[in-house]
Structure 1
Amino acid sequence: MGGRYVIETRREATHESEGMRHRWLRRRPLGRYRYVRLRWRVVFAVVDYVGEVVFGTCRALRSLFVARQTPTDTLGATAGLSSSAGITVGQANRATLPLGLDKPLARCTTASANPHEDPRVILLVQLDHLGDAIISTAMLPPLRRRYPDASIEVLAGPWNREVFEAAPQVDRVHVSRANRFARRRLARLAWIPAVFWWGLRLRRRKVDLGIDVRGDFPVALILWLCGARRRLGWDCGGGGFLLTDRPAFVPSRPEVQSRWALLGALGIQPLSAADSWRASFRPSDTARREIASRLAEFSSGPLVVLHVGAGTAAKSWPVGHWRELLGRLVVHLGVHVVLVGSGSDRTIAARILGQWRWPGVADWTGRLTVVELAALVERAELLVGADSGPAHLAAAEETPVVVLFSGTNNARQWQPCGGQVTVLRHPVDCSPCHRGRCPRPDHPCMNQLRPQRVAREVERILSWRFAEIPC
């Protein structure tokens, strides 16, 4: 008994020290970096310092060579001659540099492309998760309105490619299977050569405007290697010296509004107040017909979708809580329920359902594409799930959604934005921890989010929804 008490006491002390360490880091950030761990802040502070020195030296050398080779009294004439011949001043200056130094020095300058010249090829890089891609769809309609003749291309991951393939504003989608957001360890390790491979491969696309929506050093490197004339991104993840336009990142701002802040650097403003917080995603007609045929097995009645998976273990709701919520929905509310998730969530769904035969319940985990999931959510009265892609998808489609928000992230920054979004969370002192797995054995932020509370919220929303339907 005494030994067990000592072990539990040591565990509690460890958890307290972990929480104190993360709170200390949040109170004392190192400059502009968004990284939680101190080592990454230090690494990228050093990288940025070296990069600024190297690029600053290259700019100084280029200016020195140009000043020596081009007389100041003929600079205006050179500019006029080159403009009349269809050559920019930068190209004329580059021609005066010593042989072999023109291209390296030019690549190390960060002077922005002419902001008044419309880009012909726009590359948006979005390699991370499904929810992030849904958020970024808010940028596509205004980009198309501002640049109607441009080719809008996206470098995506295999897990979010369908989002951009379904977007009518996107002309071409490039898919990088090896990047650091991959679930498999081997694919994560392959991201370093993949950065250089994609950077050099995309040079043939002759990108005029490159956009990094996340603020990542690998993405900034890709945009620089591909030769994008104008490179827009956040200066919060390292590699800001590789960008031409780098507005300041605001950490607690909702992510949709951060996307609009990037567009603001291009002079693009929302048409209305609603545009500044709303993502946009709609399923295809083919997906709608497929889901309609699958739902034919259900009798008439309200449909609730439960997304039982999560991006990380720290965001997962306990299986017992899911089972209790499912029982309340089926027995007390009499609704039809569809369980959704990725292929890896089938085990969770099987544990929730157990050996019982649940009337009006279907397990579709691992059986839907992204557009089919969107078609299902579009027909549902409500979606319940963790802070992950399907919750953002429901918000984009204006389907009511109850988000079971863990203590992992800043809720104001990452919660889905929309008029019919309800966020439920249990406050804990260690939030936001930015952890993939909770180090505390009781996982209080999710365990203490009781199914009774969630069921009451679901009942409230359903009663409000059906009160809108005239008899």
Structure 2
Amino acid sequence: MLIFRPGSVGDTILCLPCFHLIARRFPNAERRMLTNSPVAKVSVPVKAILEGTGLVDDYFEVDHSDVRGRLRTRWDLCRRIRSWRPDLLIVLTEVREFKQHFSELAFFKLCGVRAMLNMSLAERSAPHRWVPERGRYEYEAERLARLVRSLGDARLDDSASWDLRLSPTERERALEAVKPARGTAGLVVCSIGSALGIQDWGAEKWLAMIEELTVRADGYGLAVVGAGSEYERSEAMRTRWHGPSVNLCGRLGIRETAAVMKHADVYLGHDSGPIHLAAAAGVPCVGVYTARNPAGQWFPYGNQHRVIFHDVPCAGCGLSECTVYAKRCITSITVAEVLGAVEDLLLRVGSASLRRDVVRASE
């Protein structure tokens, strides 16, 4: 099986239910993934995310811009895939326009792929569906599950479908790393990094929010996660926290960071990979989002999360850099909005814990 899915942390995590489904459907097949090499400083290779899961056996990791721009690179990749002779190509890409779809279709035909799933123009160009009862578009995870429905049920609401199969060593390292931040009431995990500047809420907003939250979340500890390049900025925020805290930026691998999420009561961050790691771990999340993508599309999967999103007139721009409106979609989000969402989730988490304690006492 050749699985085609370019992307980084968030894109890979949202594919987990599909990867699990493919493994169930073809347990004895050799599964390789065609993906891209990291495109940003804060990105990590897909192999580092899935290593040890058994969901993917090997990788064709390439620079996609180089493949598209250089005939020699494209032919070399084609030769490698042809020599492997995959029986089935399973396509899990984002929505494609005609030109890119036709180019990729021609490439895979040249590779001699015998059969292709989700490679029709109708499937690849279909936009995310509108969900009236939610008042927004379907999750990317839902769209991907629809693409592989002919293989079976991706079981999006089953926690096992989001399992990264973390090793005991990864779990132990995470436990040791997060110990300094454990509060008497629980733990808030936060990441203020983002792959794109347009997705950044702003240092002043984060500092103001954390100063308010540390007073209202009395008894909670704080763990900040992210890339090493985010350490200093995250440290400035962490030092405002009154309770126990730890800055783990650059100190842990991506899978160990996923293991840290298992200890969180609430996660807080941008539209970036860590929010999907937290959601996959079953942690209620507060997301501070731009309006560059349709509402709902890249939200963490599940109705337990709170995503702050302003539907401005320029919503859906798809831009990587805002040059006209000074990121008004995200900068217009107030500290009070984010703080209120975090408090709401902490209240729900606390009530759930109290109910469990009462049940245990009665037993």
- TM-score, structure 2 as length reference: 0.81
1:205 deviates by 1.4
CA distance in 2, matches of 1:222, 1:164: 26
CA distance in 2, matches of 1:188, 1:407: 31
Of 257, 269, 276 in structure 2, the residue corresponding to residue 373 of structure 1 is 257
Residue range with higher mean Cα deviation, 143-152 or 378-387: 143-152
Q: Give the 3 Å change call, closer, same or farther, for CA 283–418 of structure 1 in structure 2.
A: farther
1:207 deviates by 0.4
Match of 2:141 in 1: 256
Q: Give the 3 Å change call, closer, same or farther, for CA 297–420 of structure 1 in structure 2.
A: same
Whether the 8 Å contact between 1:394 and 1:401 is mirrored in structure 2 is: yes
Residues 1:289 and 2:172 are matched in the alignment? yes
Whether the 8 Å contact between 1:408 and 1:432 is mirrored in structure 2 is: yes
1:126 deviates by 1.9
Residues 1:345 and 2:230 are matched in the alignment? yes
Q: Percent identity?
A: 25
- SS at 2:286's partner residue? strand
Match of 1:171 in 2: 57
- SS at 2:27's partner residue? coil
Match of 2:133 in 1: none
Q: Give the 3 Å change call, closer, same or farther, for CA 435–271 of structure 1 in structure 2.
A: closer
Match of 1:330 in 2: 214
Of 102, 115, 133 in structure 2, the residue corresponding to residue 230 of structure 1 is 115
Residue identity matched to 2:284: P
Q: How does 1:16-415 map to 2 (within 5 A)?
A: 122-158=1-37, 159=44, 160-176=46-62, 178-180=63-65, 193-214=72-93, 215=96, 216-217=100-101, 219-235=104-120, 247=123, 249-253=125-129, 254-264=139-149, 267-270=150-153, 274=157, 279-301=162-184, 302-334=186-218, 335-352=220-237, 359-415=243-299
Q: Give the 3 Å change call, closer, same or farther, for CA 314–273 of structure 1 in structure 2.
A: closer
- SS at 2:345's partner residue? helix
Whether the 8 Å contact between 2:35 and 2:60 is mirrored in structure 1 is: yes
1:300 deviates by 3.6
RMSD, aligned α-carbons: 2.7
1:401 deviates by 0.7
CA distance in 1, matches of 2:125, 2:112: 24
String of CA shifts for 1:315-342, please: whole Å, max 9, x gaps: 1111111111211222331321122222
Whether the 8 Å contact between 1:220 and 1:233 is mirrored in structure 2 is: no
Residues 1:463 and 2:339 are matched in the alignment? no
CA distance in 2, matches of 1:317, 1:234: 37
String of CA shifts for 1:277-333, please: whole Å, max 9, x gaps: x64434322111001111232354311111101121111111111111211222331
Whether the 8 Å contact between 1:380 and 1:399 is mirrored in structure 2 is: yes
5+ long unaligned stretches in structure 2: 38-43, 130-138, 359-363
CA distance in 1, matches of 2:228, 2:106: 33
Whether the 8 Å contact between 2:20 and 2:154 is mirrored in structure 1 is: no
Whether the 8 Å contact between 1:195 and 1:221 is mirrored in structure 2 is: no
Match of 2:314 in 1: 430
- SS at 1:247's partner residue? helix
5+ long unaligned stretches in structure 1: 1-121, 181-186, 241-245
1:444 deviates by 1.4
- SS at 1:420's partner residue? coil
- TM-score, structure 1 as length reference: 0.64
Q: Give the 3 Å change call, closer, same or farther, for CA 340–190 of structure 1 in structure 2.
A: farther
Whether the 8 Å contact between 1:406 and 1:446 is mirrored in structure 2 is: yes
Whether the 8 Å contact between 1:123 and 1:155 is mirrored in structure 2 is: yes
CA distance in 1, matches of 2:69, 2:243: 46
The structure that is helix-richer by fraction is: 1
Q: Give the 3 Å change call, closer, same or farther, for CA 191–424 of structure 1 in structure 2.
A: farther
String of CA shifts for 1:329-375, please: whole Å, max 9, x gaps: 22331321122222332353255457x68642322222221101100
1:133 deviates by 0.9
1:188 deviates by 9.0
1:409 deviates by 0.6
Match of 1:111 in 2: none
- SS at 1:198's partner residue? helix
Residue identity matched to 2:310: H
- SS at 1:323's partner residue? helix
Residue identity matched to 2:90: I
Residue identity matched to 2:50: F
